[in-house]
Structure formats: C-alpha cells, structure tokens
Amino acid sequence: MSANNHIVMADESVIVEAALLLKQGRLVALPTETVYGLGADASNPEAVKQIFSAKGRPENHPLIVHIGSVEQIHDWAVNVPDVALQLANLFWPGPLTLIFKKRPEVPMAVTGGQDTIALRIPNNPVALSLLKDFGGGIAAPSANRFKHISPTSAKHVLEELGSAVDLILDGGPCLLGVESTILDLSGEHYRLLRPGHISVSELEAVLKTKLSTGNASSVRTSGMMAVHYAPLTPAYLCASEGFPETLDKLAKMIKTVGILAYKYQPSSKQEHVIDMPEQSAEYAQSLYAALRELDQLKLDIILVEQPPETESWRAINDRLGKATVLIDI
C-alpha cells in the first residue's frame, strides 16, 4: 500500500503499515475517543517538527505524548506522584492528560521548550493497537490547522491537512467529541488546564483536595488561548432566553445566519438550522461536526444558542466560549 495522503479504514495490516511510517519519521493521523490526532514519533525531533509545519502551529506550543501503558509514564516523566498512578489506573485508557516534569532526555521539540511533558493513553481500539505495534510514544495534537475546529472524523482531517499528512487512519466518528481534560501535576499545586469529559469533581475525589482552575503560569497552552477551536465564519453565542427576539433583530442587519439551536424551534421554512441534542454527551459528540457544517456554508454569521451551564456542560461551554463571541443586542 502506498501511503499517500489518503484515508484508509484502519484494519490490522494498515495499522502495521502506519507503525512503520511512524518509525520512518512520517506523519499518521489517528482516531482517538476525543478527537483525531496528528501523530509522529515523539522521540524523533525531526518528525515532531513536521507536526508543527503541517498544522501551522508555533513550535513553542507543547504536544501531548500518547503512550500504550501506565508503566510508560516513567519513560517520559520524573517526580511522578502516587496520586498520578491512581488517576492513570482509574481513568486510562481515557480522556485525561496528565502533565509531569519531563525526563532530561525527552526532546524539547515535543514539549515546546518546556521542562514538563503531557501524557495520556487514548481509549480507542485503533489508537491502542497502533501504540502497541509502534511501541513508543506518539506525539499527537488535534489534527487540525492551528486555531481551527478539531476534527472528529477522518474526512475532517483530510479537509484540514490534506497532503501534509502521510496516512489518515479511519476509525469512524470520535465517541466523545471534545478534547481530553488536562491536569497539571508537575508543580506543588495541581491545576486543571483544560476541562473535558473527566470532570473536576471526579478528579477531586481522587486527589482529595480542591483543584485550582486558573492559569497562573506562563505555560503556552494553545487550548487556553481566547480564540481557538474557531470556525472561519464569525460565530456568536447568544442566551437561550430571548433567542428568537435576538434572531429577529439580527435578521434586519444580516443576510445569512447559521444556527446551532438548543431549545429554539425554527419555522419550517427556516434554513441553516442544526438542532443540537439535549444531552451533554451527544451534544459534545456532534458539536465540532455541526460547527464545521455551518462554517462550510460560508454564511455571514453563525449563532449558537447557549446550552445549559451545569457541570456536565463545562467542557462544551469552554469550547463554545473559545469558538464564539458573546452577543448582546
């Protein structure tokens, strides 16, 4: 099989081929339970550099290294607290990224020049068998261009990165749809850097302490930048209460509006409305695909109806906050 920028269903022989490509320093996009990742051999600085150029991402933004077993933590990290192993045993494979002090020999290319390393075991059969065949760590940010919407299908990866990626492993749509929870265990005070499917209260139950959620350090976490995960169409977030009235006002000023509706019931002839699921898990699963769909229509604006703001919606609201600007007219 020649691996030339195409999407292939990830069966066993294709996964073996993908592991070989990684060993040769090439880029392989892989499915995870959260979003698709753009993978390279994490121990090969030249391969890792290609990730940054394919994404158009600045080289000082650190990457997550995906590993195949809890024991491999020690190949990458030092000063690993006991509680980290408890968390790993409880939540891995799963949507939790843990940050530690890195081993001195870990290439700076993968940590964006920082002395810390982000690790996780993804919970996806294709990713797990690729990790097993490859044997080492796979550095993989989300497989989208810098600041764009993360991909939740193989087709999205192709749209984002095209020929910049050597092979796209198709494992179907991602089950969770938003990126992993990131917990920084590298300092004295543990900190939540990015909310995700694993909630703060689940983490606090294991840590037996309250988590700080502010970003007090100067760490360059692209997921924490104000504009991120964003469609190219200007996107606005609007309270659910009074949504139809806001829409009426907007209609007088703007020609084409795409709507991500939560409670709002459109009239039968209204176009460009995506009715989002009521439950947070299903909402998360389809959020990026829905934003992408509206974005591709090249409308004047996208209007997102604010979903609930309770804990199970936290990761969704975090991403919506970054993809949109609040509207109040």
Site for Mg ion in 136-175 (CB under 5 A): 142
Answer yes or no whether residue 34 interacts with ligand TXA by CB under 6 A: yes
Binding partner of 72, given ligand TXA, Mg ion, none, CB within 5-8 angstroms per partner class: none
For ligand TXA (CB under 6 A), the number of binding residues is 28
CA distances, 132 to each of 18, 25, 122, 155 (Å): 12, 17, 12, 25
Cα 219 from Cα 194, distance rounded (Å): 13
Single out the residue of 18, 27, 32, 126 in contact with ligand TXA (rule: CB under 6 A).
32
Least distance to ligand TXA, CB of residue 242, Å: 34
Site for ligand TXA in 170-189 (CB under 6 A): 179-180, 182
Answer yes or no whether residue 37 interacts with ligand TXA by CB under 6 A: yes
Answer yes or no whether residue 223 interacts with ligand TXA by CB under 6 A: yes
> Beta partners for 29?
38, 168
Least distance to ligand TXA, CB of residue 159, Å: 17
Single out the residue of 14, 62, 68, 295 in contact with ligand TXA (rule: CB under 6 A).
62
Answer yes or no whether residue 180 interacts with Mg ion by CB under 5 A: no
Least distance to Mg ion, CB of residue 223, Å: 6
Exposed (0-12), middle (13-18) or buried (19+): which is 217, by Cβ within 10 Å?
Answer: middle
Q: Residues interacting with ligand TXA, by CB under 6 A?
A: 32, 34-35, 37, 61-64, 95, 97, 99, 111, 114, 116-118, 122, 140-142, 179-180, 182, 193, 219, 221-223
